[in-house]
Amino acid sequence: MVKIRPMDDRIVVKVLEAEDKTAGGILLPDTAKEKPQRGKVSAVGQGRLLDDGKRAAMTIKKGDVVIFGKYAGSDVEIGGQELKIMRENEVLLRVES
């Protein structure tokens, strides 16, 4: 695995697979699946640089499971893994267990 470190307030998210079954139990083919909007945070940046030169604290941490918008971030492939790089403010919510 390649070591990665996002810049500023960016996070790296490992996209989790979309559901292959509906709530009613119907199996979906790959072409009918929704674009995944859920992922696990793999790495976080240092935080946004403020006007006074300090860094804003990140609220998202490595290991968090997050939900993001359908078209949020940039899709990249690193080391054979499908990853998404996005800014912290593109995360819609953090899933708490």
Structure confidence by residue, pLDDT tens digits, 66-87: 999 888 999 998 888 889 999 9
* pLDDT score of 34: 59
d(CA 29, CA 58): 38
Percent of the chain's residues with pLDDT above 70: 78
d(CA 87, CA 56): 13
* pLDDT score of 19: 58
Each domain of the chain, given as residue ranges in start order, spans 1-17+34-58+66-97
* pLDDT score of 58: 92
d(CA 27, CA 69): 24
Domain 1-17+34-58+66-97 homologous superfamily, CATH: GroES chaperonin (2.30.33.40)
- Calculate mean pLDDT across residues 48-74: 92
pLDDT at 31 over 80: no
Tell how far CA 50 is from the center of its chain: 23
